[in-house]
Amino acid sequence: MARKTTGVNKSDEIRKLLQATPAVSAKEVVATLAEKNIKVTDSLVYFVKGKISGRKSRRRKAQKTVAQVVAVTPSSNSDAVKTILKVKGWASEVGGLKKLKALVDALSE
């Protein structure tokens, strides 16, 4: 059986509060929302904060990796093993070979 919702999206309220004051601590967020009769735990605040910062860092990392892939120019006397290891390293930074291939395909269009 599904849970009944209270009508308040707690994560959304946390996001709104963090947008208004990004330097606020988790305990302050819990206290502020408690004044509005919204019960949240500090672990939920940390989770939402991590999701917000995670999106930004993943986006930056992907843009950096794409810039590195574009900057690579093949030369006739380069070592093939070194090139393969570089590509493998980029793939691990992006999140896998499939994601790297998708980025390369997006660049080629």
Q: How many domains does the chain have?
A: 1
DSSP 2-51: PPPP-S--HHHHHHHHHHH-TT--HHHHHHHHHHTT----HHHHHHHHHH
| Contact between 14 and 26 (Cβ < 8 Å) | no
Instruction: Indicate the average pLDDT of the chain.
Output: 84
Whether residue 21 lies inside any domain: the answer is: yes
Q: pLDDT above 90 covers what percent of the chain?
A: 33
In a domain, 5, yes or no: no
In-domain check, residue 29 = yes
Whether the predicted pLDDT of 103 surpasses 70: yes
Say what the pLDDT of residue 73 is. Answer: 56
- For 42, residues 6+ apart whose C-beta sits below 8 A from its C-beta are 26, 27, 29, 30
pLDDT of residue 72: 64
- Kindly report the pTM of this predicted structure: 0.49
Better pLDDT: 5 or 90? 90
Report the pLDDT value the prediction gives residue 15, as an integer from 0 to 100: 93
The model's confidence at residue 1, banded by pLDDT at 50, 70 and 90, is low
Q: How far apart are CA 106 and CA 42, in angstroms?
A: 40
Answer whether residue 38 is part of any domain: yes
Quote the domain boundaries for residue 77.
10-108
pLDDT digits over 8-44, tens only?
899 999 999 999 998 899 999 999 999 999 999 999 9
Mean pLDDT of 54-83: 74
C-alpha 102/C-alpha 100 separation (Å) is 5
